[in-house]
Amino acid sequence: MSNIEYIDRPLNHWFILQVLRKRRGWEWRALLIDVDPDDFVSHRGCPYKSRWLDLGWHKSRAAAWAAAEEMRRKL
């Protein structure tokens, strides 16, 4: 696996793997990968790229996930 980079907007043709809270508070990040999540397990031995996307402040994981999807939809 390569080093993870941080970005401020989603990349085209990348997929949201997970939405995670930063260390404390309500600030969230999404982990994006360049492999379809359905195929992710079969690519375990293959190199793939990943990036962290800052999502800002949200009160719940569901709200943060919705914000990530909305950002991705606007591409």
Question: What DSSP character marks residue 68?
Answer: H
pLDDT tens figures, 30-55: 999 998 888 777 766 677 888 999 99
pLDDT class for 1, splitting at 50, 70, 90? very low
Q: pTM of the prediction?
A: 0.81
Give the bridge partners for 61, in sequence order: none
Euclidean distance between CA atoms 25 and 22, whole angstroms: 7
Query: Closest Cα to residue 29, out of 47, 17, 14, 42?
Result: 17
Residue with tokens 């914000």: 67
User: So where are the chain's domains?
Assistant: 5-73
